[in-house]
Amino acid sequence: MSATDVNPLPRELAPGVFWLGRCQHAPFQGRVLHGYNSAFLVAGDDSSALIEAGHPVVLPDIERQLDGLLAAGVPELRYLLTTHTETPHSGGLGRLLQHFPEALAYGPLLDLHLVFPQYAARFRQVDPGDSLDLGGRELLIVEAPIRDMPYTRWVFDSRERVLFPGDGFAYAHYHEADHCGKTVEETPDLDLPDMMALFAEIALYWTNFVDMEPYIQRLDALLGDLRVAMVAPTHGLPIMDVGASIATIYDGLRGRRSSEHAPAETAKHESPIR
């Protein structure tokens, strides 16, 4: 087994905040890029919550990591949160509800009662302003200024001031093999604006056709109001120093990428996603 085959996760990013999952590989322009469909375990004094239900491909890894952390003394897993119902974010919900029979599912669950009807009684809908008390630590449901589905919700950890933005901060979504399990600050050689813009073309394609400044202003206001210290995206590398990285983040959202990845023509249209 090579060094790149070893999974560096789980990793504790901050006290009680654990990064879970496994890197996946994708061929691109003659090379292999790596990317995450991460989940995050947040542990309070009384209970824990899993943010994102995991892509089916990485579910066995997430389950093993969860079992190991719980066996090591992390408080009981009571809450499963998903930012939206796309497969990489909620595809593992049924399996996790089966694996953890005392847990409840929270999020913009919408039609998931049709997908997992046997667990419908354990579903709880959430909206911005709602919160979950883990004991000495609160998870707040907040607006998602950048989203790929209209009902996307983000999650904020009150203790360590960590923002969990689903797809909205797909920052360094793709990276090289030696960047796996590292944070943005630990990968200074990665072309972050280019990689962020590449993912925007794939998953947030509407951002190529709108004026992104109003969205960036809303995002900037949210980061300031919450005093966000760290960002833990579902797709991408965690950002440990938001203040130091914010200009690059905004450049990526604006689409300042290399000509190789830029669309041939960009027209301004109203975004279908608010």
39-53, 140-154, 180-194, 223-237: the lowest-pLDDT one? 180-194
Please name the residues in contact with 120: beta carbons below 8 A apart, sequence gap of 6 or more: 113
Angle formed by the axes of helices 192-203 and 242-254, to 10°? 50
Question: Which neighbouring-strand residues pair with 41?
Answer: 18, 50
Residue listed under structure tokens 């202003």: 217
> CATH no. for residue 168?
3.60.15.10
| In a domain? residue 274 | no
Spatial distance between the Cα atoms of 220 and 174, rounded to a whole number of angstroms: 24
Domain that holds residue 37: 3-254
CB-CB contact of 54 with 79 (8 Å):
no
pLDDT at position 46 is 98
pLDDT band at 258 (very low <50, low <70, confident <90, very high): very low
| In a domain? residue 259 | no
| In a domain? residue 19 | yes
Residue listed under structure tokens 């000509």: 259
Angstrom CA distances, 172 to 61, 106, 133, 234, stand at 22, 27, 31, 11
Nearest residue to 191 via CA among 144, 122, 237, 154: 237
Mean pLDDT of the region 264-271: 33
| In a domain? residue 223 | yes
| In a domain? residue 215 | yes
CB-CB contact of 55 with 150 (8 Å):
no
Q: Name the domain count of the chain.
A: 1
Nearest residue to 88 via CA among 36, 30, 33, 136: 36
Angle formed by the axes of helices 242-254 and 213-226, to 10°? 160
CB-CB contact of 90 with 166 (8 Å):
no
pLDDT at position 88 is 86
Please name the residues in contact with 48: beta carbons below 8 A apart, sequence gap of 6 or more: 41, 42, 70, 74, 75, 76, 77, 78, 79, 134
Predicted TM-score of the model (pTM)? 0.87
Question: Which neighbouring-strand residues pair with 12?
Answer: 18
Q: What is the pLDDT of residues 191-248, one digit of tens each?
A: 766 666 666 666 777 877 889 899 999 999 999 999 999 999 998 889 999 988 888 7
pLDDT band at 37 (very low <50, low <70, confident <90, very high): confident
Using CA of residue 92, residue 93, residue 94, residue 100, what is the dihedral sign?
positive
Q: Looking at the predicted structure, is the pLDDT value of residue 81 above 90? A: yes
| In a domain? residue 266 | no
Residue type, 139: L
| In a domain? residue 267 | no
Mean pLDDT of the region 244-266: 62
Rg of the Cα atoms in the chain: 18
pLDDT at position 170 is 60
Q: Which residue has the higher pLDDT, 92 or 249?
A: 92
| In a domain? residue 232 | yes
Q: What is the pLDDT of residues 55-76, one digit of tens each?
A: 888 999 999 999 999 999 999 9
Mean pLDDT of the region 180-192: 80
pLDDT at position 238 is 92
pLDDT at position 262 is 41
Residue listed under structure tokens 């049709």: 114
